[in-house]
Amino acid sequence: MVVDGSKLARKLIGDVLARELPDAQLVLCGSIAEAREALAQGPVNLVTTSLVLPDGDGIALARTVREGAVQTYVPIIVISGEAQSHLEERRFTEDVTDYFDKSLGHSALAAFIRGYVQPEPIPDARVLYVEDSRVVALATKRMLERHGMKVLHFVGVEEALEHLDAHRGQDDIGTDVVLTDVYLKGALEGKDLVQHVRHGLGYGKRRLPVLVMTGDANPDNQSALLREGANDLVMKPIEERLLITKTLFQLRLSQLPEQRAMDR
């Protein structure tokens, strides 16, 4: 289901999805009321929505989907040119599964949606993973490896930095994506790792994506991580499908050429 008050935006998103996911059935709606009528006809597998709708907003739509008696749990994705600011300000509710910033372009949107509808592994993709809890690390490592990823596990930021620094200035920077817990037992924490990747090594979000796992519900702390340069947050307790979707999307995004932003 694609919900957007702009007919042009609905067509644009629909065309991208139809081209990239030819087997998907699209339900296009221009408002919450139209979406509610469509949901009454039967469940859908995924919902995308803009933030601004004629009779409400994307957050209200997400609540409507969740409250629908006949609607099973489905991913609800906000597609907006203001997604990043909403993310940094922690304005998304728990009803929203994920978010996509239009500035990333059409190919990125297709890769993002494909990750939910038809997830495909990226063979031999390397994840530099920092976690000091043996139990959590084992469970998360198994999640990633089940989807074909190779996991380089470090118990502390210091060891992870040694690995990254050893590859400084090389074409192969030692990993394809970083996944780290935010609170660690050593002198350095996840935020320090993000800062070193962005400012110490100078790697941008496309060059080396960084995902931060956190159970901290404090929106100020979450916003600080994103402003320091984290690509995205993975909230604990970790849900495997969401972790894999977010990780694979960042990997695919890093491989895509830069594109112009989608029309608002």
Separate counts of helices (H) and strands (E) for the chain: 10, 12
Residue 42 region by backbone torsions, left for phi larger than 0, else alpha for psi between -120 and 50, else beta:
left
3-state DSSP assignment of residue 126: strand
CATH number of this structure's domain 2-117: 3.40.50.2300
- Domain layout of the chain by residue ranges: 2-117, 126-255
| 136 vs 130: CA distance, rounded Å | 11
> What type of residue sits at position 10?
R
Question: Is 126-255 the same fold as 2-117?
Answer: yes
- Average pLDDT of the chain to the nearest whole number: 89
Say which CATH superfamily domain 126-255 falls into: Response regulator (3.40.50.2300)
| 178 vs 194: CA distance, rounded Å | 9
Is 87 within 8 Å of 128 (Cβ atoms)?
no
Q: Is pLDDT at 69 greater than 80 in this prediction? A: no
pLDDT tens-digit series, residues 165-221: 999 999 999 999 999 999 998 899 999 999 999 999 999 999 999 999 998 777 788
Q: Tell me what percent of the residues of the chain surpass a pLDDT of 70.
A: 95
Q: Which residues contact 138 (CB under 8 A, 6 or more apart)?
A: none
| 154 vs 263: CA distance, rounded Å | 42
pLDDT given for residue 83 in this prediction: 83
pLDDT given for residue 72 in this prediction: 58
| 109 vs 216: CA distance, rounded Å | 29
pLDDT tens-digit series, residues 36-67: 999 888 888 889 999 999 999 999 999 888 87
Q: Is pLDDT at 242 greater than 90 in this prediction? A: no
Q: Please state the pTM of the whole predicted model.
A: 0.78
Pairing of strands 28-29, 2-3: parallel
| 166 vs 175: CA distance, rounded Å | 12
Q: Which residues pair with 150 in a beta bridge?
A: 126
DSSP secondary structure letter of residue 102? G
> What type of residue sits at position 192?
D
Between 129 and 102, the higher pLDDT residue: 129
